[in-house]
């Protein structure tokens, strides 16, 4: 079990991944830069963005303005839906690197598996794209490579065609969608699971069970939900642009949720995930998670 914000998990290739990430979804311009700077000053060392968030330039600025050495930050971005395929994926990654102002990414993720434009040739499309990721990795542009919003069957399409496969899989994970099967699969295959929207996109604060549980442990609902992910052995990716909340979301190592209460929280699975299952084709217009 990790015990502090800078504790790390180790990827299958030996690269270390800080156990809590800072998310930047829906953070425009200077809001993103200031939030990233605050997060790094708080002690976060894992920053998550994506080309689709349209804030990479400012995320990069926030890292530089923090004064933290680039090699101390685990920086992640994601391939936009429009840029699947070998040549487009390579060019898209290069564009992200330029916007971020860095020579390399600590991890690069395919943002969404099934698209309207690839639904009839899914395996071929994902393989072409993964081949680009392998080239970027071998060229030193990526320290690791992974996926976002992939179901097990999507990862298996890559596994059966390549000797390399995703080292990270970032999925929607929270008490309403605890992803037990995915966590077990990741553990079995040496993949680090990450959890976007651990606060259920704000719905956590409306769940009476979580409010009562937070009161029991003397913590905020946000801290409770982030801790829930930590104890599941996944990397939570909370986000906030408010300094107080940024600090609060990181302060989750002073308490432990009992096994009984972990299962009680997971009974919220009856509410289910927010939005589409990753098997539902997306279009290029969809921005974000």
List the catalytic residues: 53
Residue 22: phi and psi, rounded to 5, are -110, 120
Which tokens in the block code for residue 123? Answer: 């395996």
CB–CB of 117/131 below 8 Å? no
- DSSP, residue by residue, the chain: ---STT-EEE-TTS-EEESS-EE-TT--HHHHHHHHHHHHHHT--EEE--GGGT-HHHHHHHHHHHT--GGG-EEEEEE-GGG-SHHHHHHHHHHHHHHHT-S-BSEEEE--S-BTTTGGGHHHHHHHHHHHHHHHHHTTSBS-EEEES--HHHHHHHHTT-S---SEEEEE-BTTB--HHHHHHHHHHT-EEEEE-TTGGGGGGG-HHHHHHHHHHTS-HHHHHHHHHHHTT-EEE---SSHHHHHHHH--SS----HHHHHHHHGGGGT--SS--TTS-B-TT----
């Amino acid at each position: 079990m990790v015990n502090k914000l800078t504790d790390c998990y180790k990827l299958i290739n030996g690269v270390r991944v800080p156990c809590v990430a800072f998310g930047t979804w829906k953070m425009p311009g200077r809001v993103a830069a200031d939030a990233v700077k605050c997060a790094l000053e708080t002690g976060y060392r894992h920053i998550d963005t994506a080309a689709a968030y349209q804030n990479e330039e400012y995320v990069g600025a926030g890292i530089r303005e923090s004064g933290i050495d680039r090699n101390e930050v685990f920086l992640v971005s994601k391939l936009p839906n429009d840029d699947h395929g070998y040549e487009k994926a390579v060019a898209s990654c290069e564009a992200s690197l330029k916007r971020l102002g860095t020579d390399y990414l600590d991890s690069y993720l395919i943002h969404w598996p099934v698209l309207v434009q690839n639904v009839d040739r899914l395996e071929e499309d994902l393989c072409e794209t993964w081949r680009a990721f392998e080239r970027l990795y071998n060229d030193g542009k990526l320290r690791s490579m992974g996926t976002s919003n992939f179901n097990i069957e999507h990862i298996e399409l890559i596994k059966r065609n390549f000797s390399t496969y995703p080292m990270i899989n970032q999925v929607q994970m929270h008490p309403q969608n605890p992803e037990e099967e995915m966590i077990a699969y990741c553990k079995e295959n040496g993949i680090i699971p990450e959890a976007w929207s651990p606060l259920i996109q704000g719905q956590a604060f409306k769940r009476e069970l979580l409010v009562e549980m937070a009161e029991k442990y003397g913590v905020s609902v946000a801290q409770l939900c982030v801790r829930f992910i930590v104890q599941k052995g996944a990397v939570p990716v909370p986000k906030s642009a408010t300094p107080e909340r940024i600090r609060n979301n990181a302060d989750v190592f002073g308490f432990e949720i009992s096994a009984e209460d972990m299962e009680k929280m997971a009974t919220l699975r009856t509410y289910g995930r927010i939005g589409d299952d990753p098997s539902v084709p997306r279009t290029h217009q969809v921005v974000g998670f």
